[in-house]
Amino acid sequence: MKNIMIAPSILSADFAKMGAEIERMERAGADMIHCDVMDGMFVPNITFGPKMITDIRKHTSLPLDAHLMVTKPERYVEQFAKAGADYITVHYEASDATLDTLKKIRKLGKKSGLVINPDTAAEVVEDYLEYCDMILVMSVYPGFGGQKYISGSTEKIRKIAKMISERNLDVRLEIDGGITLENISEVLAAGADTIVAGSTVFNSPDPSRTIKLLKSGGVEL
């Protein structure tokens, strides 16, 4: 079992105060910063590009997790690597060149991640597992924060956790979308070890307590 990492998603941050928001999350005990890159094409929303990663990099030593919701992400992985992302995660649905892109990310010295959308079967990751440092299961349709967790995602996590442990691979298993203090325990029990949380952490009056609670499965230790 891997250590549990909590990755606040800056989609829920105040973009006009990003440096301070990142520092606030680091002080609150975040393990990683999740950066949602959206191109207005793969998803119906637009956020930011590699310059945001470059600028964030100066405000934290935490690992940066670049979740590329971008059509043909192979066009951009080099720029995100140079900008200082630690994990670069690409969507299975976004390109025909996924395998080459995962290999390229590793060649650039970064951790490679593959993401699947809610309508994509867990089984598709099987062929890519050995080229991945992380698998990300979307538990909402990508594009916006604050949506409701899609309950079938728990079963997908369970299936992928099994694939990873059967093959004895060193792959993190991340979940993204609609994570709350109510559903965190089932997600952890299913085998997720990397938890993206946007609105739950950023809207909390006490992010430090919320992060601790997420890590412990929603109960006070």
State how far Cα 164 lies from the chain centre.
17
Q: How far is the CB of 135 from ligand DX5 (least distance, A)?
A: 14
* DSSP string for residues in 19-79: HHHHHHHHHTT-S-EEEEEEBSSSSS-B---HHHHHHHHTT--S-EEEEEE-SSGGGTHHH
**CB under 5 to 8 A by kind: which of ligand DX5, Zn ion, none does 89 bind?**
none
Of these, 113, 176, 192, 211, which contacts Zn ion (CB under 5 A)? 176
How far apart are alpha carbons 6 and 30 in whole angstroms?
Answer: 6
How far apart are alpha carbons 41 and 91 in whole angstroms?
Answer: 13
If the CB atoms of residues 142 and 207 are measured against Zn ion, the closer one turns out to be 142
If the CB atoms of residues 73 and 143 are measured against ligand DX5, the closer one turns out to be 143
36 binds Zn ion (CB under 5 A): yes
8 binds ligand DX5 (CB under 6 A): no
Q: Which is catalytic among the residues 31, 86, 133, 176?
A: 176
Q: Which residue is nearest to ligand DX5 (CB)?
A: 198
5 binds ligand DX5 (CB under 6 A): no
How far apart are alpha carbons 174 and 116 in whole angstroms?
Answer: 11
If the CB atoms of residues 44 and 167 are measured against ligand DX5, the closer one turns out to be 44
**CB under 5 to 8 A by kind: which of ligand DX5, Zn ion, none does 183 bind?**
none
176 binds ligand DX5 (CB under 6 A): yes
67 binds Zn ion (CB under 5 A): yes
If the CB atoms of residues 168 and 187 are measured against ligand DX5, the closer one turns out to be 187
Asked whether 116 and 124 are in contact (CB, 8 A), the reply is: yes
If the CB atoms of residues 166 and 212 are measured against ligand DX5, the closer one turns out to be 212
Of these, 198, 204, 211, 215, which contacts ligand DX5 (CB under 6 A)? 198
Does the annotation count 176 as an active-site position? yes
Q: Which residues pair with 75 in a beta bridge?
A: none
49 exposed, middle or buried (CB, 10 Å; 0-12, 13-18, 19+)? Answer: middle
185 binds ligand DX5 (CB under 6 A): no
Q: How far apart, in Å, are the Cα atoms of 192 and each of 135, 176, 184, 196?
A: 10, 10, 9, 10
How far apart are alpha carbons 154 and 132 in whole angstroms?
Answer: 20
Residue entry with tokens 């890519």: 128
Does the annotation count 170 as an active-site position? no
Catalytic residue annotation? 36, 176
Report the interface residues with ligand DX5, using CB under 6 A: 9, 11-12, 34, 36, 67, 140, 142-143, 145-147, 176-179, 196-200
